[in-house]
Amino acid sequence: MSDSIQGPFIVTGASGQLGRQVVENLLAKGANPVVAITRTPDKLADLRARGVEVRAGDFNDPATLGAAFAGGGRLLIISTDDLEPGKRLAAHRNAIAAAQEAGVTHIVYTSLTNPDESSPITFAADHRESEALIKQTGLPHTILRNCLYADLLLMSGAQAIGAGALYAAAGDGKAGYVTRADCARAAAAALLSEIGSTLRDITGPEAVGHAEIAAILSQVAGKEIPYVPITRDALVEAMVTNGLPEFMANVFSSFDVAIAKGNLDMASDDVEKLTGLRPQSVRDFLLANTPALTGQA
């Protein structure tokens, strides 16, 4: 951490999986003071006991954000996960406006790989427009364009091993899957070190396709798990049949379409530049999580 960079270091969504890990990374680096913003402060009592200032704040309730961001500092806006059309962008607009009013000195925002108009991912526009709103504030900012979480492969990988095949609508495309842990390390590092305005592509060390993922799953399972390409319609139908609401099936299947189109075929060294450590590969991540994939966790 540069001596010229002063806190407080504010993390929104701090009771979520990513936000919690960011706070832990900040504490490990000796950052002080650290402020954790959450809709559920009671869930962070253990962090409060360790010296973290826990504040209530809800992007969907602008009246809570003045006190949440009071005193300014360096702010991490973790994108909300609301899939209902329009709600995510409205929430981000509230947070960005409140940050500017509170005198925040630097905004770090978790965005999406290549969220331009060509992206078929259903919520890409929310990220694209959120980035634009941050730029319009004139504040120094760091945009972290996170690729798909490798962690998502634990669920689909376990399902593939159970079914005996990996079914996806991703064609021969690839994605720069990155672990949530590496995203957290990168976000903490950005809060502690980035100056000016920067754009970072947060990815794993290489982009991988589903045929490669299936080969790793075969190694994990000790049996052949082939990759079977299917259409998006077939994927949506399978998800709905297994109980997923159709609008969510459309969201998740849009990831596969983006992979097939090449929108997520990205491998950057920005994680290593920010953190000094090479990000974990999909192979190493899946092998390290063999018990979860094989039902032995």
Cα separation of 11 and 138, whole Å?
20
Q: Tell me which H or E stretch contains 54.
A: strand 53-56
Structure tokens belonging to residue 149: 């979480």
Which residue has tokens 């990168």?
186
Residue 297: what pLDDT? 65
Would 236 be classed as within a structural domain? no
The residue range of the domain holding 124 is 9-147+178-204+266-280
In a domain, 228, yes or no: no
Please report whether residue 249 resides in a domain: no
d(CA 269, CA 202): 8
Would you state the pLDDT for residue 1? 53
Domain count, the chain: 1
Q: What is the pLDDT of residue 123?
A: 94
In a domain, 99, yes or no: yes
Q: Domain for residue 153, yes or no?
A: no
In a domain, 100, yes or no: yes
pLDDT along the chain (297 residues), means of 10: 79 97 97 96 96 97 96 95 85 97 97 97 96 98 98 96 97 98 98 97 98 98 98 96 92 97 98 98 98 88
229 in any annotated domain? no
Confidence at residue 84, expressed as pLDDT on a 0 to 100 scale? 76
pTM over 0.85: yes
CATH assignment at residue 79: 3.40.50.720
Give the Å distances, CA to CA, from 34 to 5, 51, 142: 13, 8, 18
**Amino acid identity for residue 198 in this structure:** T
Residue 244 included in any domain: no
